[in-house]
């Protein structure tokens, strides 16, 4: 492994939060230190979050408590993205049913809308974002309004969210409940749509950002849609098997064990005979399966495996994890 640190090729890092920097209230080991080190490299830092339950100021304060560098203007959340998207479709001054946090309601009000909490108010639109306090009554009000023809925006559709005790239902699961009740499909503001990434890059003055996240269907897909290089870090939701079997649209350019690897040269993955080699690991297609030599605990093994499988199946519309043969 020779060459320059991976991060040296980029002028900004656009980092996800849950599963990358923290899980619930707990920091991911080593993440804060890695983010702190960006200042020494001259790399700008932005945080991209689909969590619409907290303001940018609250998110930044939490990050600082964990030891990570953060100011409110470095936090780009789906609540603001949702409010901006709504402003493109619904006239200012309209009533909007807010199914979500006070932060989301404040963002809606800042765009000139009137936040309401009941479908009886005849809202012109519904905006739905994550709030751990949401219950059946709130979802029912959203369903009533959407079924009556209200324009519907979801801040994000993450099906799960990492917590200290494990993986819990995310906003996507709550959106799915309203969708099941109404048959409607919302317009989505946050990840995996490209806008939240391009907005963040423009605000940071970045021309070559690197997107890092733990989820293929939001972080990686969204970064890819935005035309940015992407890196999946194996500290959150999606493990190496999921990365290996990812659809083409959700395949990252880089596979990292932790954020600390940003400061290392990225290991070369080279063609070797009928397969690919990375470090001591080798992978090759064999009888429709994937023969892999190397420890499953070594990220290089998965880098070689991804190279071999993706080379053989470059156009995968859906996830398909191969059978692994030792």
Catalytic residues: 16, 18
Structure tokens at 141: 């009000």
**Tokens, residue 190:** 């946050």
CB count within 10 Å of CB 130 equals 29
Name the H helices within the chain: 31-36, 38-41, 56-65, 78-87, 102-110, 136-147, 171-182, 195-204, 221-225, 240-244, 299-312
Angle subtended at Cα 181 by Cα 113 and Cα 89, rounded to the nearest 5 degrees: 30
All residues at 6 or more sequence positions from 71 whose CB lies less than 8 Å from its CB, including other chains: 60
CB atoms under 10 Å from CB of 326, counted, come to 7
User: Could you tell me which of 160, 167, 159, 221 has the C-alpha nearest to residue 196?
Assistant: 221
Integer angstrom CA distances of residue 193 from 155, 187, 198, 255? 10, 10, 10, 21
Tell whether the torsion through CA atoms of 15, 17, 18 and 21 is positive or negative: positive
First to last CA, the chain: 25
Do the strands 209-213 and 12-15 form a parallel or antiparallel pair, or are they unpaired? Answer: parallel
For residue 74, give the DSSP letter: G
| Three-state secondary-structure class, residue 252 | coil
Distance, in Å, from the CA atom of 90 to the CA atom of 113, rounded to the nearest integer, reads: 9
Give ∠ CA 219-222-228 in degrees, rounded to 5: 100
């Amino acid at each position: 492994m020779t060459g320059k640190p991976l991060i040296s090729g980029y002028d900004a890092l656009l980092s996800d939060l849950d599963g990358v920097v923290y899980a619930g209230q707990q920091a991911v080991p080593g993440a804060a230190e890695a983010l702190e080190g960006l200042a020494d490299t001259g790399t700008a830092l932005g945080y991209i979050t689909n969590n619409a339950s907290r303001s940018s100021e609250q998110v930044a304060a939490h990050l600082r408590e964990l030891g990570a560098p953060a100011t409110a203007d470095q936090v780009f959340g789906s609540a603001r993205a949702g409010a901006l998207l709504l402003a493109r479709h619904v006239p200012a001054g309209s009533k909007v049913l807010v199914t979500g946090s006070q932060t989301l309601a404040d963002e809606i009000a800042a765009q000139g809308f009137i936040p309401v909490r009941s479908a009886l108010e005849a809202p012109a639109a519904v905006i739905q974002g994550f709030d751990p306090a949401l219950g059946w009554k709130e979802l029912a009000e959203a369903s009533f309004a959407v079924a009556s023809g209200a324009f519907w925006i979801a801040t994000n559709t993450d099906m799960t969210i990492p917590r200290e005790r494990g993986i819990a239902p995310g906003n996507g699961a709550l959106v799915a409940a309203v969708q099941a009740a109404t048959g409607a499909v919302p317009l989505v503001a946050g990840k995996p749509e490209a806008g939240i990434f391009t907005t963040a890059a423009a605000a940071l003055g970045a021309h070559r950002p690197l997107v890092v996240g733990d989820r293929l269907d939001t972080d990686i897909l969204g970064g890819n849609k935005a035309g940015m290089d992407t890196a999946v870090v194996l500290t959150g939701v999606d493990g190496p098997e999921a990365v290996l079997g990812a659809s083409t649209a959700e395949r990252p350019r880089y596979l990292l064990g932790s954020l600390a690897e940003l400061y290392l040269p990225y290991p070369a993955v080279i063609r070797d005979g009928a397969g690919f080699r990375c470090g001591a690991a080798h992978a090759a297609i064999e009888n429709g399966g994937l023969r892999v030599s190397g420890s499953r605990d070594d990220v290089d093994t998965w880098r070689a495996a991804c190279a071999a499988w993706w080379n053989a199946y470059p156009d995968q519309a859906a996830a398909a994890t191969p059978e692994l043969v030792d």
